[in-house]
């Protein structure tokens, strides 16, 4: 046995952990009893001392026994003494498979206040705990937790203490990390402690997901002087020779120092030659105490060790001897446990592990059977104990675990469901059934974003069956998830191989694999992948999915033929959101954007009714909304994607959302924020693996530079969207940048280079490009032409009525033509175009363009107001969205639910915006929004 605990400890500190001068229970631990952590204590004290400035968080990370729990206990005591409210929870290794176990532990003291939450939030939160019927929506549950914590903090500053976060169940970790990142203006501090080791839940990192975006403070070993001081405090009579051996062997680990010193007490320095017990030997220290106990005491401890914290609290005591039994006296005197009210708790998870593994296998199996017998009314816990007691295939136990997995899935606990199915597969007598369960487990695990785990489950499924369909399904789950991480080349190769291998034996599965490969072709923009798709595609059955695959991979070639059939296909897909979504993607790629947006509206609504937005969908939906002039919705979709549980590991998907969000911000005139998001997107991906994201990010940077009036920089960024020969870097994403390229070139002196690129693109798009792209070519030509020759191209760009479907592009063209007309002194002709452009820019909130249109309008003798460039336009995009929603009458809670903010944060934003807007009441906001233009 190594030193990594394998059990649960409750919320109390381990005996001697972290260089304490004794546990809180035995010695009344205080700051003076904690050795070598003065700087850490100062930082924790400062963090919880003043919470008026908004939420803050800190993660204590370190190896087992470095004192994280003791420091958290100390901070919690100090916070309580200062009048703060303290909520606590601790992860347990045995509870990793129980969705929302840790969240329930944390919120249980305040759960009665959930009745004050908005109805949808309340139902989702209570549904996560199984208190109300229906499935939990992870996003809505996260908003509910955010609202509840904010609500609690309104009465008194709140300290949230999360210990052993590496063992917190995935569902709780996702929701809590979501809330932690959004406590911007609430009087809440979050202190977390997590194991810094490889012994953690698959794929979530050593801190269970809390190590992303939360400042981390690593607790290292004590130095020699600090270690001596700790031993002087705890073991003053230890012989000098033994003292040096303890110091050498413990290597500064506080827990090892104290335990080894305790074990060495009473020995002579020359005894027990060789290293002092560590690792397995340290476990033997505990089992040596166990051996001295009576049989009844040993059995009681084994039952405690076999039980999980998630088991009903009265389950184990019902199986144990009476508390007055003499066996308990010996058990308590052993120092292995402590009494907490009516219950007994191990003093440290190492003890639980040592006790459990010290007993023979048969005794451990009997303990689990006894617990299962006591849990007949708790089917999920009973199933897991039966599984722990089962060494050989058992169809009945396997089926019980399968039912447990389904209940966990309905509550949004995908990780727990996947683990239950994986264990069910191990116990399923029929290998083919087991393979199917493993493939299903891989599909559920994909929701966690843990690609290594999904790949492992897929490999196990393939090893158990020769069924090509099951093998391919398992591989597809891994391939789809790999696509969202940025590993496009490898994932494409695997999916293309599946399609080629199964083309004859399982053509439907092969086509599914090739369709997924086409998505990767879109992400990467790699031309060789298009050729590979076209090589395999003729071997697969004809039909809409085959046409869809061609449209995604080659929209300006054979894929264009799908466009006329899309309305009928979308109508036939009504009620099947996954199919509607796929068709909407094709519609967007083929520049049927209004149709795509309408379909996305319906499909996304259906998806949300069943769970979170599909991980890979956000960037495409957001881009369609942006192009269609629905910018607020585009930003909301991007925010939803970033908040998904799997987002921290889905680099490509998150980068795409960041890049699209940056494009919106740049168009709104928030150049600094746009540059920050675009830079983040580029850092997340390899531009050769994710050319689409790289193009969107560079377009955002070009737009931000245009908004700043820096046209030389804008051209540099726009030029990167095309290669040295003038061909598009990405076969689809690059062409809409032609206008940005031309606009920046016209003002920076790069006419010849830009004209060459535009004419090269014109030849490519002449026969197969959309009317939108052809209009952009005309617009680019007009901007770069000699003034006397520009009008025909301006008129050609505006002649296509469909261009109005892309309102921002259309308004830009109107403004540029009006500017050209005014400079030709054709002011009367320019005025209608200026008015139309100005109205659109005002509605969209495109501040730089609105200011430019207003300046031109004044020069043309038109009366204008300064609503957009004024106070409202000076607000941040987030503040503008909050004001618009407040103007519609939404409460702070309702706004927070939509924007993934706490109600207090919403209130803080409104408090700061009222003076800027010159208003004193919410009822005045509608007038402000009306004056600024755009929807209320």
Per-residue HEC secondary structure of 575-588 comes to CCHHHHHHHHHHHH
Domain shared by 662 and 794, yes or no = yes
Least confident of 396-410, 422-436, 895-909: 895-909
Q: What is the pLDDT of residues 372-399, one digit of tens each?
A: 999 888 899 899 999 999 999 999 999 9
Q: Can you state the angle between helices 488-502 and 507-524, rounded to 10 degrees?
A: 160
pLDDT at residue 53 is higher than 90: no
Is 109 within a domain? yes
Q: What's the CA gap between 824 and 840, in Å, rounded? A: 24
Q: What's the CA gap between 658 and 661, in Å, rounded? A: 5
Strand partners, 58: 191
Domain shared by 41 and 100, yes or no = yes
* Residue 633's pLDDT band (cuts 50, 70, 90): confident
Is 487 within a domain? no
Choose from 9-23, 156-170, 915-929 the range with maximum mean pLDDT: 156-170
* Residue 120's pLDDT band (cuts 50, 70, 90): confident
Least confident of 125-129, 243-247, 588-592: 243-247
Asked if 210 and 58 count as a contact pair (C-beta separation under 8 A), the reply is no
Asked if 815 and 849 count as a contact pair (C-beta separation under 8 A), the reply is yes
Is 343 within a domain? no
Alpha helices in 465-574 (DSSP H): 468-485, 488-502, 507-524, 527-536, 544-553, 566-572
Domain shared by 825 and 893, yes or no = no
Task: Dump the DSSP string for 533-552.
Answer: HHHHGGGS--SHHHHHHHHH
Single residue among 800, 816, 839 that ends a domain in this structure: 800
Res 867: pLDDT: 44
Chain centroid to CA 314: how far? 36
Domain count across the chain: 6
Better pLDDT: 771 or 447: 771
Domain shared by 762 and 826, yes or no = no
Domain shared by 680 and 774, yes or no = yes
Res 751: pLDDT: 93
Cβ atoms within 10 Å of 584's Cβ, excluding its own = 30
The tokens describing 2, both together, are 């190594």
Domain shared by 770 and 741, yes or no = yes
Domain shared by 216 and 73, yes or no = yes
What's the CATH code of the domain at 677?
1.25.40.10
> Which residue bears the tokens 């446990």?
337
Q: What is the pLDDT of residues 651-690, one digit of tens each?
A: 888 899 999 999 999 999 889 999 999 999 999 999 888 9
Strand partners, 34: 20
* Residue 199's pLDDT band (cuts 50, 70, 90): very low
Is 921 within a domain? yes
Res 342: pLDDT: 64
Cβ atoms within 10 Å of 82's Cβ, excluding its own = 12
Q: Is 207 helix (H, G, I), strand (E, B) or coil?
A: coil
* Residue 869's pLDDT band (cuts 50, 70, 90): very low
Compute the chain's Rg from CA coordinates.
32
Is 342 within a domain? no
Strand partners, 20: 34
Q: What's the CA gap between 203 and 450, in Å, rounded? A: 5
Asked if 6 and 55 count as a contact pair (C-beta separation under 8 A), the reply is no
Res 870: pLDDT: 55
| Mean of pLDDT values over 81-99 | 86
Strand partners, 113: none
Better pLDDT: 689 or 204: 689
Least confident of 104-108, 203-207, 482-486, 719-723: 203-207
Res 7: pLDDT: 33
| Mean of pLDDT values over 823-843 | 91
Q: What's the CA gap between 243 and 228, in Å, rounded? A: 8
Res 714: pLDDT: 95
> Which residue bears the tokens 């002194």?
825
Buried b (16+ CB within 10 A) or exposed e, 683-717: ebbbbebbbbbbbbbbbbbbbbbbbbebbebbbbb
Q: What's the CA gap between 446 and 461, in Å, rounded? A: 15
pLDDT at residue 22 is higher than 60: no
pLDDT at residue 58 is higher than 80: yes
Domain shared by 660 and 709, yes or no = yes
pLDDT at residue 849 is higher than 70: yes
Task: Dump the DSSP string for 389-456.
Answer: T--S--HHHHHHHHHHHHHHHHTT-HHHHHHHHHHHHHH-SSHHHHHHHHHHHHHHHGGGT-HHHHHH
Least confident of 138-152, 153-167, 350-364: 350-364
Res 55: pLDDT: 56
Single residue among 865, 889, 912 that ends a domain in this structure: 865
Domain shared by 232 and 102, yes or no = no
| Mean of pLDDT values over 848-867 | 80
The residue range of the domain holding 41 is 37-117+151-220
Residue 630's region, left for phi above 0, alpha for psi from -120 to 50, else beta, is beta
What's the CATH code of the domain at 922?
1.10.10.10
Single residue among 256, 278, 300 that ends a domain in this structure: 278
For 191, phi then psi, to 5°, come to: -115, 130
Domain shared by 107 and 56, yes or no = yes
Is 77 within a domain? yes
Buried b (16+ CB within 10 A) or exposed e, 170-204: bbbbbbbbbbbbbbbbbbbbbbbbbbbbeebbbbb
Asked if 650 and 449 count as a contact pair (C-beta separation under 8 A), the reply is yes
Q: What is the pLDDT of the chain when averaged over all its residues?
A: 82
Q: What's the CA gap between 382 and 409, in Å, rounded? A: 18
Provide CB contacts within 8 A for 430, sequence distance 6+.
395
Q: What is the pLDDT of residues 503-526, one digit of tens each?
A: 988 898 899 889 989 999 999 999
Q: Which of 333, 355, 330, 420 is nearest to 382 (CA)?
A: 420
Domain shared by 199 and 101, yes or no = yes
pLDDT at residue 217 is higher than 70: yes
* Residue 865's pLDDT band (cuts 50, 70, 90): low
Res 934: pLDDT: 55
Q: What is the pLDDT of residues 300-339, one digit of tens each?
A: 888 888 887 666 767 777 787 776 677 777 887 877 887 7
Is 679 within a domain? yes
Q: What is the pLDDT of residues 158-198, one digit of tens each?
A: 999 999 888 888 888 888 888 888 887 788 889 999 876 43
Res 36: pLDDT: 82
Q: Are strands 216-219 and 56-62 parallel, antiparallel or unpaired?
A: parallel
pLDDT at residue 220 is higher than 90: no
Q: What's the CA gap between 150 and 137, in Å, rounded? A: 20
Domain shared by 680 and 765, yes or no = yes
Is 577 within a domain? yes
Between the alpha carbon of residue 413 and those of residues 95, 179, 444, 846, the distances in Å are: 12, 17, 9, 41
Least confident of 37-41, 583-587, 619-623, 916-920: 916-920
pLDDT at residue 202 is higher than 70: no
Better pLDDT: 133 or 270: 133
What's the CATH code of the domain at 70?
3.40.50.300
| Terminal Cα distance for the chain, rounded | 64
DSSP structure class, residue 276: P
Res 52: pLDDT: 60
Res 178: pLDDT: 84
């Amino acid at each position: 046995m190594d030193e990594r605990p394998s059990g649960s400890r409750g919320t109390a500190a381990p005996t001697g952990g972290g260089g304490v001068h004794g546990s809180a229970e035995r010695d009344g631990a205080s700051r003076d009893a904690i050795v070598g952590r003065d700087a850490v204590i100062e930082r924790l004290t400062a963090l919880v001392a003043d919470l008026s400035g908004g939420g803050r968080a800190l993660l204590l990370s370190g190896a087992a026994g470095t004192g994280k729990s003791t420091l958290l206990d100390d901070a919690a005591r100090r916070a309580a003494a200062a009048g703060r409210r303290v909520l606590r929870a601790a992860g347990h290794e045995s509870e990793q498979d129980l969705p929302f176990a840790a969240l329930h532990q944390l919120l249980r003291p305040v759960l009665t206040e959930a009745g004050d939450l908005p109805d949808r939030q309340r139902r989702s939160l209570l549904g996560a705990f199984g208190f109300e019927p229906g499935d939990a929506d992870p996003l809505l549950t996260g908003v509910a937790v955010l609202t509840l914590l904010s609500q609690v903090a309104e009465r008194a500053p709140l300290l949230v203490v999360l210990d052993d976060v590496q063992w917190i169940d995935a569902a709780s970790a996702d929701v809590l990390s979501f809330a932690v990142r959004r406590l911007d203006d609430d009087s809440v501090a979050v202190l977390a402690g997590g194991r810094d080791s490889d012994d953690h839940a698959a794929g979530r990192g050593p801190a269970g997901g809390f190590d992303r975006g939360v400042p981390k403070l690593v607790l290292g070993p004590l130095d020699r002087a600090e270690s001596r001081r700790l031993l002087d405090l705890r073991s003053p009579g230890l012989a000098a020779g033994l003292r040096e051996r303890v110091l050498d062997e413990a290597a500064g680990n506080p827990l090892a120092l104290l335990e080894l010193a305790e074990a060495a007490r009473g020995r002579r320095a020359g005894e027990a030659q060789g290293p002092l017990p560590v690792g397995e030997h340290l476990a033997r220290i505990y089992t040596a105490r166990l051996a001295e106990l009576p049989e009844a005491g040993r059995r009681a401890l084994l039952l405690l060790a076999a039980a999980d914290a998630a088991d009903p609290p009265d389950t184990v005591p019902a199986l144990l001897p009476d508390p007055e039994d003499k066996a308990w006296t010996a058990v308590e005197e052993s120092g292995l446990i402590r009494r907490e009210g009516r219950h007994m708790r191990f003093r440290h998870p190492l003890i639980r592990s040592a006790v459990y593994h010290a007993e023979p296998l048969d005794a451990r199996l009997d303990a689990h059977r006894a617990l299962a017998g006591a849990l007949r009314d708790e089917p999920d816990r009973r199933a897991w104990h039966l599984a722990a007691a089962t060494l050989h295939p058992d169809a009945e136990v396997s089926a019980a675990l399968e039912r447990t997995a389904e209940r966990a899935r309905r509550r949004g606990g995908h990780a727990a469901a996947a683990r239950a199915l994986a264990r069910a597969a191990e116990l399923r007598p029929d290998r083919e059934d087991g393979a199917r369960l493993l493939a299903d487990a891989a599909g559920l695990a994909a929701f966690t974003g843990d690609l290594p785990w999904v790949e492992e489950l897929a490999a196990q499924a393939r090893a158990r069956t020769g069924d090509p369909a099951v093998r391919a399904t398992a591989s597809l789950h891994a391939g789809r998830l790999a696509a969202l991480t940025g590993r496009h080349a490898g994932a494409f190769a695997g999916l293309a191989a599946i399609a080629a291998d199964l083309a004859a034996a399982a053509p439907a599965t092969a086509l599914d694999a090739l369709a997924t490969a086409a998505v990767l072709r879109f992400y990467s923009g790699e031309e060789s992948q298009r050729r590979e798709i076209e090589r395999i595609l003729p071997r697969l059955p004809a039909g809409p999915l085959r046409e869809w695959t061609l449209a995604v991979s080659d929209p300006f070639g054979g894929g264009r033929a799908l466009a006329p059939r899309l309305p009928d296909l979308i109508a036939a897909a009504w009620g099947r959101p996954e199919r509607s979504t796929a068709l909407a993607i094709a519609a967007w790629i083929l520049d049927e954007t209004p149709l795509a947006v309408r379909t996305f509206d319906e499909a996304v609504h259906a998806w949300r009714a069943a769970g979170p937005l599909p991980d890979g969908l956000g960037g495409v939906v957001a881009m369609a909304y942006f192009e269609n002039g629905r910018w607020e919705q585009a930003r909301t979709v991007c925010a939803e994607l970033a908040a998904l549980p799997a987002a921290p590991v889905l680099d490509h998907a998150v980068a795409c959302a960041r890049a699209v969000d940056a494009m919106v911000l740049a168009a709104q005139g928030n150049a600094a924020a746009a540059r920050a998001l675009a830079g983040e997107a580029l850092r997340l991906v390899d531009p050769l693996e994710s050319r689409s994201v790289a193009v969107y990010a560079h377009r955002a940077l070009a737009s931000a530079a245009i908004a700043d009036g820096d046209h030389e920089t804008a051209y540099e960024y726009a030029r990167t969207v095309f290669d040295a020969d003038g061909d598009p870097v990405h076969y689809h994403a690059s062409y809409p940048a032609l206008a940005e390229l031309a606009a920046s070139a016209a003002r920076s002196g790069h006419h010849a280079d830009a004209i060459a690129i535009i004419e090269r693109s014109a030849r490519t798009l002449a026969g197969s490009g959309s009317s939108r792209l052809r209009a952009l070519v005309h617009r680019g030509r007009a901007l770069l032409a000699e003034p006397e020759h520009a009008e025909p191209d301006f008129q050609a760009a505006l002649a296509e009525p469909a261009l109005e479907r892309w309102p921002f592009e259309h308004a830009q063209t109107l403004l540029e033509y009006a500017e050209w007309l005014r400079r030709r002194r054709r002011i009367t002709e320019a005025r209608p175009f200026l008015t139309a452009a100005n109205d659109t820019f005002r509605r969209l909130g495109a501040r730089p363009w609105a200011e430019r249109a207003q300046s031109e309008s004044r020069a043309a003798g038109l009366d204008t107001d300064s609503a957009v460039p004024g106070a409202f336009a000076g607000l941040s995009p987030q503040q503008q969205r909050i004001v618009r929603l407040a103007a519609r009458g939404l409460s702070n809670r309702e706004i927070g639910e939509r924007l993934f903010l706490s109600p207090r944060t919403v209130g803080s934003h409104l408090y700061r915006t009222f003076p800027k807007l010159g208003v004193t009441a919410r009822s005045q906001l509608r007038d402000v929004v009306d004056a600024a233009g755009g929807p209320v």
